């Protein structure tokens, strides 16, 4: 289990805090979505958890061990992080993923390290690119490589900053399915920054809404209410029920009132869409 | 494990073997060219005789030429070339700039100023007008060497101090600080020369040409110790450099203390380059070009790029020096000019072919 306690951070002491007393926890096998509008401090939160930007106040406990007191290598064995914007090194896919084994490598990569990499390449369906240079791949494929590298670290906590931003819809689902599957198979805690609320609902177990540097709301599917979404994103939404799956439909400019007698259904959505267009 | 994955691992092993082969071929090529460089010159010594002389069993005349003149020169080319090339490769990584080399952060300019200071202010240089080729020689070279080393390292010291003072100075800031100091040193050198007499100016200019023949066995021993010590540090950090190629945040998340690696690597690169330059004068371009040549063959994988760059630097400098000695023998052309002369077209060729690599 991972506990984030009272994270407070400011890039510059003279400016306002980017994070203020942020606390939440992630259970094993659990996938948490970090939600909030641009500038809410989501990426900074992940960087603080991984001590890339050390927090002024607060602790991160991984299985009750204070991550802030671990050595960098120890930390890398516990926490893996995939940044929003990655620099793609002029290296092959295999070598890039092998870098994920760096926290375990003493002098050179062992056969076991290479086998772990080969296994992840297979799970992430990257077999056909294994010996291609990452810079030659499409944005989405490269993003999968970065994710695979983080998985090769075999961490207890996986931090993903918008892992699906460069992927087509099919790959978005595929990658999140893989993350969820690997998290469950290996007992990993996952925190994902994600802007697509529908993907968040589909693949994440709990949701941390950040607003004005603080946790605005935190909890399970019951926190995914139009009120919370509207307060955090300053945007009206309508949640419809499609065969048991809640679907969030945004209406940025105006509040759409559901007329009496209209039910939350796809047919209803068509009616609503026709009104606002 | 499935057959597919076994094949994949075999393919990867074959891919790594190709990198090792590149290293082995470069080493063999360097040895062959080095033997040729020792054998060629105004006194033609056949290669078998060179090998005999190396083992102390050659003719007295060739023994003196090989052990006393040619071999120290070739060994100097190997050590200095390797030092400048590995420094360049590592600087290009930690500063995240393909143009980084010892001269980018002011080491060469600092050393040139130091040499000018040693010659003009401390009287390290005199004129000796035997022939056109040795029109100027430098007496009391240790003053010049020490001044060159101190000023060459000074610029790095200032850059590192600045980065301690301003903690968020990234790789770009370090390069800009280096460029500012280079320009300061160049200005100081110009002022010194402006107030110096003709003979001293000649000595300064001669020093900046670079001369591999100026290093004796004692100097070579110092250079070799510096090369192997820095090479050991760089090889220990090769995984850190690989991680840093993916950006600072990723490197930190992989357990790299990026700030410490950048500063210590820069300090070692500059000190090694300063030692090399202070003994043999300004040798430009090798530190920049040798790593880029090897990137084409082994990619940005520092496990292989560091040793391969060292060999490529050595090979390039032997080639340049031999070319400079033979092209209009008995006149020996200045090595600094030859490296730029050979390096520039090579660099342009690489540039036009693009920096794509086979990984």
**What residues of chain A, 138 to 197, have a C-beta less than 8 Å from chain B?**
146, 149-150, 153
Please judge whether B303 and A118 are an interchain contact, meaning their C-beta atoms are less than 8 angstroms apart. Answer: no
pLDDT level of residue A276 (50, 70, 90 thresholds): low
| Closest B-chain CA to A12 | B168
pLDDT level of residue B357 (50, 70, 90 thresholds): very low
Among A28-32, A84-88, B312-316, the minimum mean pLDDT is found in A84-88
Contacts 24+ apart (CB under 8 A), B185-193: B185/B106, B185/B109, B185/B110, B185/B112, B185/B113, B185/B151, B185/B155, B186/B109, B186/B112, B186/B113, B188/B113, B189/B109, B189/B112, B189/B113, B189/B116, B192/B113, B192/B116, B192/B117, B192/B120, B192/B121, B193/B116, B193/B120
CA atoms within 13 A on the CB side of B322: 20
- What is residue B307's predicted lDDT score, i.e. its pLDDT? 94
A75 vs B239, B255, B303: nearest CB? B255
Q: What is the pLDDT of residues A214-250, one digit of tens each?
A: 888 888 888 888 788 888 888 877 777 777 777 787 7
Please judge whether B5 and A94 are an interchain contact, meaning their C-beta atoms are less than 8 angstroms apart. Answer: no
> Averaged over A102-113, what is the pLDDT?
86
Among A45-54, A74-83, B208-217, B265-274, the minimum mean pLDDT is found in B208-217
In a domain, B137, yes or no: yes
Q: What is the pLDDT of residues B97-110, one digit of tens each?
A: 777 777 777 888 88
Q: What is the pLDDT of residues A151-209, one digit of tens each?
A: 899 898 999 988 888 778 888 888 888 888 888 888 889 999 988 888 888 888 888 88
Residue B200 phi, psi dihedral angles, 5° rounding: -70, -35
pLDDT level of residue B228 (50, 70, 90 thresholds): very high
Q: Is ipTM strictly over 0.85?
A: no
B245 vs A89, A118, A153: nearest CB? A89
- What is residue A272's predicted lDDT score, i.e. its pLDDT? 63
Across the strands, what pairs with A60? Answer: A4
- What is residue B189's predicted lDDT score, i.e. its pLDDT? 87
> Averaged over A26-54, what is the pLDDT?
86
- What is residue B21's predicted lDDT score, i.e. its pLDDT? 92
Please judge whether A118 and B8 are an interchain contact, meaning their C-beta atoms are less than 8 angstroms apart. Answer: yes
Q: What is the pLDDT of residues B241-265, one digit of tens each?
A: 999 888 888 888 898 988 888 888 8
Please judge whether A95 and B301 are an interchain contact, meaning their C-beta atoms are less than 8 angstroms apart. Answer: yes
B255 vs A73, A88, A130: nearest CB? A73
In a domain, B359, yes or no: no
Please judge whether B1 and A115 are an interchain contact, meaning their C-beta atoms are less than 8 angstroms apart. Answer: yes
A148: closest CA of chain B, how far (Å): 13
Which one of B95, B243, B244, B249 makes the best mutation probe of the A interface by having the most chain A beta carbons within 10 Å? B249
Task: Write out chain A residues lying below 8 Å of B17, CB-based.
Answer: none
| Closest B-chain CA to A50 | B253
Please judge whether A83 and B247 are an interchain contact, meaning their C-beta atoms are less than 8 angstroms apart. Answer: yes
B129 vs B270, higher pLDDT: B270
Please judge whether A127 and B8 are an interchain contact, meaning their C-beta atoms are less than 8 angstroms apart. Answer: yes
Task: Write out chain B residues lying below 8 Å of A122, CB-based.
Answer: 2, 4-5
pLDDT level of residue B313 (50, 70, 90 thresholds): very high
- What is residue A229's predicted lDDT score, i.e. its pLDDT? 82
Please judge whether B1 and A130 are an interchain contact, meaning their C-beta atoms are less than 8 angstroms apart. Answer: no
> Averaged over A112-130, what is the pLDDT?
84
B66 vs B13, higher pLDDT: B13
Which one of B172, B255, B292 makes the best mutation probe of the A interface by having the most chain A beta carbons within 10 Å? B255
Task: Write out chain A residues lying below 8 Å of B4, CB-based.
Answer: 122, 127
> Averaged over B217-235, what is the pLDDT?
88
> Averaged over A13-38, what is the pLDDT?
83
In a domain, B300, yes or no: yes
pLDDT at A105 over 50: yes
Task: Write out chain A residues lying below 8 Å of B2, CB-based.
Answer: 122
| Domains detected in chain A | 2-87+153-234 (3.40.50.300), 235-277 (no CATH)
- Residue B7 forms contact with A (CB below 8 Å): no
B254 contacts B133 by C-beta, under 8 angstroms: no
CATH number at residue B24: 1.10.3470.10
pLDDT at A258 over 70: no
| Closest B-chain CA to A131 | B12
**What residues of chain A, 30 to 89, have a C-beta less than 8 Å from chain B?**
47, 50-52, 71-77, 79-83, 85-89
Please judge whether A81 and B239 are an interchain contact, meaning their C-beta atoms are less than 8 angstroms apart. Answer: no
In a domain, B191, yes or no: yes
- What is residue B358's predicted lDDT score, i.e. its pLDDT? 40
Strands A2-9 and A236-242: unpaired
> Averaged over A42-58, what is the pLDDT?
85
Number of structural domains (chain B) is: 1
- What is residue B132's predicted lDDT score, i.e. its pLDDT? 43
A123: closest CA of chain B, how far (Å): 11
**What residues of chain B, 288 to 317, have a C-beta less than 8 Å from chain A?**
295, 299-301, 303
A128: CB partners within 8 A, 6+ apart? none
Please classify residue A186 by burial: count the beta carbons closer than 10 Å to its beta carbon, then call 0-12 exposed, 13-18 middle and 19+ buried: middle
Cα–Cα distance, A210 to A42 (Å, whole number)? 7
Q: At what angle do helices A139-152 and A169-186 cross, to 10 degrees?
A: 0
| Closest B-chain CA to A111 | B9
Structural domain of residue B61, as residue ranges?
3-353
pLDDT at A252 over 70: no
In a domain, B337, yes or no: yes
Share of chain A above pLDDT 70, in %: 90
pLDDT level of residue B128 (50, 70, 90 thresholds): very low
In a domain, B358, yes or no: no
Cα–Cα distance, B34 to A218 (Å, whole number)? 70
| Closest A-chain CA to B235 | A107
Report the Cα B224 to chain-centroid distance in Å.
Answer: 12
Please judge whether B253 and A88 are an interchain contact, meaning their C-beta atoms are less than 8 angstroms apart. Answer: no
pLDDT level of residue B89 (50, 70, 90 thresholds): very high
- Residue B8 forms contact with A (CB below 8 Å): yes
Which one of A12, A13, A89, A134 makes the best mutation probe of the B interface by having the most chain B beta carbons within 10 Å? A89
B9 vs A100, A102, A118: nearest CB? A118
pLDDT at B127 over 60: no
B290: CB partners within 8 A, 6+ apart? B81, B84, B85, B88, B89, B309, B312, B313, B316
Task: Write out chain A residues lying below 8 Å of B256, CB-based.
Answer: 72, 102
pLDDT level of residue B81 (50, 70, 90 thresholds): very high
Please judge whether B295 and A153 are an interchain contact, meaning their C-beta atoms are less than 8 angstroms apart. Answer: no
Report chain B's mean pLDDT, rounded to a whole number.
80
Which one of B253, B256, B300, B356 makes the best mutation probe of the A interface by having the most chain A beta carbons within 10 Å? B253
* Residue A215 φ/ψ region, left for φ over 0, alpha for ψ in the -120 to 50 degree band, beta for the rest: beta
> Averaged over B274-282, what is the pLDDT?
81
Share of chain A above pLDDT 90, in %: 5
In a domain, B70, yes or no: yes
Show the tokens assigned to B207: 């020093």
pLDDT level of residue A261 (50, 70, 90 thresholds): low
Furthest CA-CA distance within chain B: 78
Read off the pTM. 0.82
| Closest B-chain CA to A74 | B255
């Amino acid at each position: 289990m991972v506990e984030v306690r009272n994270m407070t951070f400011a890039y510059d002491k003279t400016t306002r805090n980017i994070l203020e007393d942020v606390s939440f926890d992630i259970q094993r096998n659990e996938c948490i979505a970090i939600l909030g509008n641009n500038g809410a401090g989501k990426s900074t939160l992940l960087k603080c958890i991984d001590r890339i930007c050390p927090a002024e106040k607060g602790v991160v406990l991984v299985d009750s061990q204070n991550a802030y007191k671990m050595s960098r290598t120890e930390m890398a064995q516990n926490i893996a992080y995939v940044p929003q914007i990655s620099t793609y090194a002029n290296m092959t896919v295999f070598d890039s993923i092998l870098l994920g084994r760096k926290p375990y490598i003493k002098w050179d990569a062992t056969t076991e390290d290479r086998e772990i990499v080969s296994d992840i390449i297979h799970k992430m369906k990257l077999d056909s690119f294994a010996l291609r240079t990452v810079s030659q791949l499409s944005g989405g494929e490269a993003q999968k490589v970065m994710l695979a590298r983080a998985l090769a670290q075999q961490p207890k906590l996986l931090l993903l900053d918008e892992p699906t931003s460069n992927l087509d819809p099919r790959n978005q689902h595929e990658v999140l399915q893989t993350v969820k599957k690997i998290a469950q198979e290996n007992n990993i805690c996952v925190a994902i920054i994600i802007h697509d609320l529908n993907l968040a609902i589909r693949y994440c177990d709990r949701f941390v809404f950040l607003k004005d540097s603080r946790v605005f709301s935190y909890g399970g599917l019951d926190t995914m209410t139009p009120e919370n979404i509207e307060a955090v994103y300053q945007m009206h939404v309508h949640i419809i029920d499609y065969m048991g799956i809640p679907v969030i439909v945004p209406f940025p400019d105006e509040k759409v009132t559901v007329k009496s007698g209209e039910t939350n259904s796809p047919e209803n959505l068509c009616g609503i869409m026709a009104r606002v267009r | 494990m499935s057959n597919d994955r076994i094949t994949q691992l075999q393919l990867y092993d074959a891919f790594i073997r190709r990198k090792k082969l590149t290293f082995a071929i470069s080493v063999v090529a360097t040895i062959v060219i080095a033997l040729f460089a020792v054998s060629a010159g105004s006194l033609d010594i056949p290669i078998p005789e060179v090998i005999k002389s190396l083992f102390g069993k050659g003719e007295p005349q060739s023994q003196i030429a090989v052990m006393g003149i040619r071999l120290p020169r070739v060994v100097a080319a190997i050590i200095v070339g390797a030092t400048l090339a590995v420094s360049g490769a590592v600087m290009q990584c930690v500063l995240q700039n393909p143009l980084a080399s010892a001269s980018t952060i002011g080491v060469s300019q600092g050393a040139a100023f130091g040499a000018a200071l040693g010659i003009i202010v401390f009287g390290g240089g005199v004129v000796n007008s035997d022939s056109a080729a040795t029109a100027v020689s430098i007496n009391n070279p240790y003053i010049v060497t020490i001044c060159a080393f101190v000023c060459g390292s000074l610029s790095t010291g200032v850059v590192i101090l600045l980065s301690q003072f301003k903690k968020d100075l990234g790789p770009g800031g370090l390069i800009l600080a280096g460029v500012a100091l280079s320009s300061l040193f160049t200005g100081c050198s110009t002022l010194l020369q402006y107030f110096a007499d003709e003979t001293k100016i000649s000595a300064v200019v001669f020093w900046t040409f670079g001369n591999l023949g100026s290093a004796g066995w004692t100097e070579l021993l110092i250079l070799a110790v510096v090369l192997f010590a820095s090479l050991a540090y760089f090889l220990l950090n090769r995984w850190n450099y690989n991680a840093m190629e993916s950006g600072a945040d990723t490197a930190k998340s992989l357990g790299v203390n990026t700030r410490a690696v950048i500063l210590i690597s820069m300090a070692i690169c500059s000190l090694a380059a300063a030692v090399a330059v202070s003994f043999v004068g300004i040798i430009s371009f090798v530190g920049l070009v040798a790593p880029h040549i090897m990137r084409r063959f082994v990619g940005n994988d520092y496990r292989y790029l560091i040793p391969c760059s060292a060999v490529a630097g050595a090979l390039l400098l032997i080639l340049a020096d031999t070319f400079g000695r033979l092209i209009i023998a008995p006149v020996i052309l200045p090595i600094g000019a030859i490296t730029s002369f050979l390096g520039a077209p090579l660099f342009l060729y690489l540039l036009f072919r693009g920096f794509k690599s086979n990984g």
